[in-house]
Amino acid sequence: MRSSFIAWIVLQVAQSSLLADEPFRFFEPVQPPRKMQIVAHLGMHQLAPENSPAALLACSSDYIEWAQVPIRLTRDGKHVILSDETVDRITSGHGKVSELTLAELKKLDTGSAYSERFKDTPIPTLAEVLKLSKGKLNLVLQCERVDSKLLVKEILGAQMQNQVLVQAEPDVLKKISQVADQKLAKMLSFNPDQDKLENWISEFQPDAALVEADRLTNALCKTLQTRGIKLFVQATGSPDSFEVWNKLIHFPIDAIVTDNPVGVRFAEVRNRIPNFPVKISYHRGACRYAPENTLASIQMAAALGADYIEVDIRPTSDGKYMLLHDSTLNRTTNGKGPIRKSSFDEVRALTAGAWFSKAYADQKVPTLSEGLTAMGKQSHGYLDSKDITPEDLLAAMQKHDLMERSVVYQSAQFLEKLKKLHPKVRALPPLDKVEYFDKVAAISPYGFDTEWKILSKELIEKAHNTGIKIFSDSLAPLHENVEEYLKAMNWGIDVIQTNYPLRVLRAIELFTPSAKSTNSN
């Protein structure tokens, strides 16, 4: 009997050795974790220099789970994070990374090529990126040229083994695996035909496979899933589009590697949650990812499916209405002085995007008409009428068929005049104190632009019982978080205006009518 039991144990061990290894368990920076995650190629380089600390921290702030960063070896054997073999493209220096010491590389500025506001941003080391990302962000380490022993030492020394996926060519990955002794997860690109997949798995035993978007098949997904191998899909370059994302999200994949993490996440969540419990207003367009109030910012917001796009209207000295938040040109253009004292031609000659990123240097201060056109036919206008006559605003709204597809923000007095000209105008006066409710409601507004600090379930219910919607700006750092959004959503807020649309999106993912607003993730 005893010998039979021992024989059974031996059989179980032998059989278990034939099965696939237990899937590698990664840290989950977003809780609860999403089934399909996103890898931001080079970090959130839409809003900060590629691979920079700011671009990586932005991933965490926007609930993006992964960043893919390239590693290179300096002349003195140190690992740095840099996309190119040379430093020429993003610094004022010259030469190959492999021919420069770390000290020489650290003197170079990688931020000014992006924007002057990032001046003196140095090339980060791998050690710095590991420390920065710990407990916040998972990393795909794209090993362009590495020292295997040093790489493993740095990752394990930082205790980042459960936040790192090592990507390399097969021969390099074999060396790293030998040194790591199975303590690090490894990823290989897979492009052969399906019939070679089993041989590929047996030979390399990867923890994750990186597959080009156009090579993805259901059979491939099923095989990798059965073997416990995570499937990452490479969508960077020309495939990186809404059309491609909308196809990919229907496959059982683990992550998409993309240059547009914002677009991918919105595409995936809108597919999963067709009817949002709250509408999102993009403040000055998608101003986190493109220069505020420009056509690029407005078009990006529209592409992301913005319910409302907020813009600010001001006139030039010769009576042309343009989109600019401040009364002066100083902050967001290369001009100076009040816009009211500058002619249209003078304003038009300025750049409205170079301050944000040199990639947007061609963005001009748009006219009101250009901005309204850029909103498209689906998004609603949120027209902050900072300096425009009621008559001229009404004419612009009628020209662009926005009478019933926009709200107008201004004082109650301005909106009273506007509604007398056209009763169908959707007026949105400010409400900054609860005691002003009845006075402001007297003009029969479409909604209140309510101070976030006075929001309450009782106020929102009172407004709804009066036929008034509640909009609110969550623009202060104190309020731009998931916990605050969930609280307001449970109270029944109609529209949240934000600089951080991905944070509102995360709240939408977590929302249930009875949700307790205590989870900040």
End-to-end CA distance of the chain: 55
328-355: pLDDT as tens digits:
999 999 999 999 999 999 999 999 999 9
More confident residue, 515 or 352: 352
Domain assignment present for 365: no
Range of 469's domain?
279-311+379-510
Give the end of a domain, one of 241, 272, 303: 272
Same domain, 295 and 197: no
Same domain, yes or no: 388 and 407: yes
> End of a domain among 272, 301, 330?
272
The whole-angstrom separation of Cα 70 and Cα 172 is 14
Q: Which residues contact 278 (CB under 8 A, 6 or more apart)?
A: 485, 488, 489, 493, 494, 495, 496, 504, 508, 511
Of 424, 474, 468, the residue nearest 447 (C-alpha): 468
Do 481 and 400 sit in the same domain of this protein?
Answer: yes
**Rounded to 5 degrees, what angle do the CA atoms 111, 115, 120 make?**
30
What is the pLDDT, as a whole number, of residue 190?
Answer: 87
- Over pLDDT 90: what percentage of the chain? 88
Nearest-CA neighbor of 448 among 487, 394, 493, 404? 493
Residue 69 CA to residue 146 CA, distance in Å, equals 13
Are residues 186 and 236 both part of a single domain? yes
> How many Å apart are CA 298 and CA 307, to the nearest integer?
12
In whole numbers, what is the pLDDT of the chain averaged over residues? Answer: 93
Tell me, yes or no, whether 462 lies in a domain.
yes
User: Are 292 and 241 part of one and the same domain?
Assistant: no
Q: What is the pLDDT of residue 21?
A: 53
Q: How confident is the model at residue 521 (pLDDT cuts 50, 70, 90)?
A: very low
Match 């916990």 to its residue by tokens. Answer: 483
Q: Is residue 477 part of a domain?
A: yes
Average pLDDT over residues 426-455: 97
pLDDT at 9 over 50: no
Query: Residue 298 domain-assigned?
Result: yes
- List pLDDT tens digits, range 62-98: 999 999 999 999 999 999 999 999 999 999 899 999 9
Cα 74 to Cα 279: distance, rounded to the nearest angstrom:
49
Among 249, 374, 395, 399, CA closest to 311? 374
Is residue 351 a part of any domain in this protein? no
Q: Give tens-digit pLDDT for 143-190.
A: 999 999 999 999 999 999 999 999 999 999 999 999 999 899 999 998
Q: Considering the chain, what percentage of its residues have pLDDT values greater than 70?
A: 94
- Could you tell me if residue 451 is inside a domain? yes
Query: Cα–Cα distance between 261 and 502 in angstroms, integer?
Result: 10
Q: Domain count of the chain? A: 2
Q: Note the helical H segments in 158-307.
A: 170-180, 197-204, 218-226, 242-248, 261-272, 295-303
**Does residue 10 have a pLDDT over 50?**
no
- Give the Cα separation of 384 and 6 in Å (integer): 79
Mean pLDDT of 115-144: 97
pLDDT attached to residue 15:
39
Residue 321 in domain: no
Are 254 and 290 part of one and the same domain? no
> In the structure, what pLDDT confidence band is assigned to residue 16 with cuts at 50, 70 and 90?
very low
**pTM of the full structure:** 0.92
Q: Which of 246, 272, 298 is the last residue of a domain?
A: 272
What does the angle CA 395 – CA 370 – CA 288 come to, to the nearest 5 degrees?
A: 120
240 with 152, same domain?
Answer: yes
Same domain, 398 and 459: yes
Give the phi and the psi of residue 159 in degrees, each rounded to 5. Answer: 55, 45
What average pLDDT does this structure show over 304-309? 97
The CA distances from residue 406 to 266, 379, 416, 417, 504, in Å, are: 22, 9, 16, 17, 21
CATH of the domain at 143: 3.20.20.190
Tokens of 338: 């009040």
Task: Say if 393 falls within a structural domain.
Answer: yes
- Low-confidence winner among 192-206, 407-421, 439-453 (lowest mean pLDDT): 192-206
Q: Are residues 255 and 284 in the same domain?
A: no
DSSP 8-state symbol, 321: E
Do 162 and 302 fall within a single domain?
Answer: no
Confidence band for 23, pLDDT divided at 50, 70 and 90: confident
**Does 265 share its domain with 391?**
no
Burial of 135 (0-12, 13-18, 19+ CB in 10 A): exposed
pLDDT band at 239 (very low <50, low <70, confident <90, very high): confident
- 385 with 412, same domain: the answer is yes
